[in-house]
Chains A and B, each alone.
Chain A
Amino acid sequence: GAGVSQSPRYKVAKRGQDVALRCDPISGHVSLFWYQQALGQGPEFLTYFQNEAQLDKSGLPSDRFFAERPEGSVSTLKIQRTQQEDSAVYLCASSLARGGTQPQHFGDGTRLSIL
């Protein structure tokens, strides 16, 4: 399809395990965002990429969270030594242009459950 694709859709991990979440943005989209959505809340910003450059990571909650986009297309969000409070839906969004001049298109998210 032509939309933002995220995988896996669901991930269950034991506390302390590392997880990796993948985002395939819309082809040609320069900007890529990661958001965290807790149950019953709106999404909260985690980090922003412009092509391969991570220009804003102010929303990452701790140094256990790491994101990369090495070739400026696919991005991976990695969470090390997961904790129960990491349980949430992780949303990826992409937009055509730099910054906020074009709408962000969201994927359907990865629902992460930490046991």
Chain B
Amino acid sequence: DAGVTQSPTHLIKTRGQQVTLRCSPKSGHDTVSWYQQALGQGPQFIFQYYEEEERQRGNFPDRFSGHQFPNYSSELNVNALLLGDSALYLCASSWGQGVIQETQYFGPGTRLLVL
């Protein structure tokens, strides 16, 4: 049973470029949440996708967008990259149909460096 996977593991971009990060959820999960973790900080919620729609969004600008595919995998897109976007981007999957909060399982992350 594969856990949450993310690609690529590392990425280097320059300011102004665009980047796409990918996530495959744990088997049986239908919900994907994306988090940004700056160095030395806790993860910060970007947005969550369920049934191919953005269900909730954190305090991030519109430069951050996403998509969820019918197989529940997800992409995070960041446009017009800034130096401050350098961080570890974590994907977490869960089962979104329960009445109670379900555990979120994290992927290994994509480390993005913007130069």
A and B are partners in one complex rather than unrelated chains: no
Q: Which residues of chain B have a CB within 8 Å of any CB of chain A?
A: none
